[in-house]
Amino acid sequence: MKFKMLLLLLISVVVISGCGSDKMSEPTTLLNQNGEEVTFPQEKPTLFFFITTYT
């Protein structure tokens, strides 16, 4: 049963990733912890991550 679920998951990931576009049409803009807008460049690959807290 585990093998079937893993195989289904892998097939789903491949199909979903094949449906996406190569490049985003608009730049990604997020807010940092100070409320300032940060825009990520589109020319080269960029790695960003989120740190969230629950208060």
- Whether residue 24 has pLDDT greater than 90: no
Q: Work out the average pLDDT over 9-38.
A: 81
Rounded Cα gap, residues 13 and 35, in angstroms: 34
Rounded Cα gap, residues 27 and 44, in angstroms: 12
Give CA 14 to chain center in angstroms: 15
- The pLDDT value given to residue 1: 79
pLDDT band at residue 5 using 50, 70 and 90 as cut-offs: very high
Task: Tell me the H-state helices in the chain.
Answer: 2-18
Q: Are 38 and 31 in contact (CB under 8 A)?
A: yes
- Whether residue 55 has pLDDT greater than 70: no
